[in-house]
Amino acid sequence: MLIEVADLKLSIHANPVLSDVRLTMQEGEIYGLLGPNGAGKSTTLSVLTGLRAADSGKVNVMGLAPLRQKRELHGKIGVLAEDSGFYGWMSAHGYLHWMARLYGRELSADEMVRRMEQVGLSAANRQAIKTYSCGMKQRLGLARALLNDPPLLILDEPTNGLDPRGRREIHDVLLALSREHGVGILLCTHLLDDVDRLCSRIGIIHQGKTLLEGVLTELLAEKTGASRYRLRVASPGTASGALPQGVNLLAQEGGWLHLDIAPGIHPDAAWRALFALGWRIIEIRSEDGGLEALYLGITETEVAA
Ligand SMILES: Nc1ncnc2c1ncn2[C@@H]1O[C@H](COP(=O)(O)OP(=O)(O)OP(=O)(O)O)[C@@H](O)[C@H]1O
């Protein structure tokens, strides 16, 4: 288990900000922490990173108590905050060297090349940061967060303010980190598209309380009755042949396969059955407009209650 939070409570100036937050995240997962403005997402992240003390509750990050074992924890996580301050006159290359030295490390030329490639900044690595687009600055922020090669990244609104191309670039870097390097990523956002594209597990916080937590496709099936999915597979050839009972192939276009899962069949069971048949699934998306309906439904219900 990478993160385990239960019954977290925290007040700021006698104002209850978190009243019942829970969160469980496994190694290699991309977890989306969702919620409206002021819900308590950033405050939760500040407790997880040892910046704030909780009033009560269980908080365990990679087996460590964030507040008491802050030093050890900071050596094992990478953090990208909402506002990453950079010196604009520095180049990405110079900046990363400088940051690594602050951590007591010297980056070799090969390592620098690898790190720039990892975040797609190779071509611009000698350019002054002030000439970078917002997306490039976020990618540099990711390179900084990855300096320790942490098994866990904690990202606060990593695609905020980025245009569609910039967002797509960040998505690709995060998906590669998760799939190719097994990095767990806790992503705090209110951009549902980011979550749809990246996250396998979500938690929805509202007014300091976790209202819903679980595997995204399962929640969509349970709460919205979603049954239609779009799957991207490593090679469409592997998707031909017999299908598990209750799984119907509706159409195939580009690299995507459109499927329908019969009522009563758990989507996770369907994915496992497909995997056993040799399918190599890269991406799963619900086609029932699911996440937005789920999010609005759950936050509105609670406000009305
Ligand atoms: N230092 C502080 N002093 C007083 N209140 C605070 C402080 N920090 C946060 N809060 C309050 O705690 C609540 C939760 O804030 P938080 O920043 O965690 O929300 P959020 O979900 O991250 O919101 P956003 O999506 O807008 O970033 C808000 O009502 C905020 O006003």
Q: What DSSP string runs through the chain?
A: --EEEEEEEEEETTEEEEEEEEEEE-TT-EEEEE--TTSSHHHHHHHHTTSS--SEEEEEETTB-TTTTHHHHHTTEEEE-SS----TTSBHHHHHHHHHHHTT----HHHHHHHHHHTT-GGGTTSBGGG--HHHHHHHHHHHHTTT--SEEEEESTTTT--HHHHHHHHHHHHHHHHHH--EEEEEES-HHHHHHH-SEEEEEETTEEEEEEEHHHHHHHHH---EEEEEES-GGGG-S---TTEEEEEEETTEEEEEE-TT--HHHHHHHHHHTT--EEEEEESSSHHHHHHHHHHHHHHH-
In this predicted model, what pLDDT tens digit does every residue of 12-23 receive, in sequence order?
Answer: 999 999 999 999
pTM of the full predicted structure? 0.81
Residue 83: band (very low, low, confident or very high) from pLDDT cuts 50, 70, 90: low
Question: Mutation test of ligand 1: which of 17, 41, 45 has the most ligand atoms closer than 8 Å to its C-beta?
Answer: 17
Q: Give me the number of domains the chain comprises.
A: 2
* Shared domain check, 127 and 62: yes
Whether 77 lines ligand 1, by a CB cut-off of 6 Å, is: no
Whether 39 lines ligand 1, by a CB cut-off of 6 Å, is: yes
Atom of ligand 1 nearest to the CA of 39: 21
In a domain, 298, yes or no: no
The range of the structural domain enclosing residue 45 comes to 3-219
Contact between 250 and 260 under an 8 Å Cβ cutoff? The reply is yes
* Shared domain check, 152 and 116: yes
pLDDT of residue 99: 86
* Shared domain check, 76 and 128: yes
In a domain, 302, yes or no: no
In a domain, 188, yes or no: yes
Residue 268: band (very low, low, confident or very high) from pLDDT cuts 50, 70, 90: confident
Task: Give the residues across from 53 on adjacent strands.
Answer: none
* Shared domain check, 131 and 236: no
pLDDT of residue 305: 46
Q: Determine whether 165 is exposed, middle or buried from the number of CB atoms within 10 Å of its CB (0-12, 13-18, 19+).
A: exposed
In this predicted model, what pLDDT tens digit does every residue of 128-165 receive, in sequence order?
Answer: 988 988 888 888 988 998 998 899 999 988 887 778 88
pLDDT of residue 288: 66
For the segment 185-212, the average pLDDT, to the nearest whole number, is 91
Helices 92-102 and 134-145 sit at what angle, rounded to 10 degrees? 30
* Shared domain check, 234 and 172: no
pLDDT of residue 278: 82
* Shared domain check, 246 and 214: no
* Shared domain check, 244 and 203: no
Q: Which of 160, 184, 219 is the last residue of a domain?
A: 219
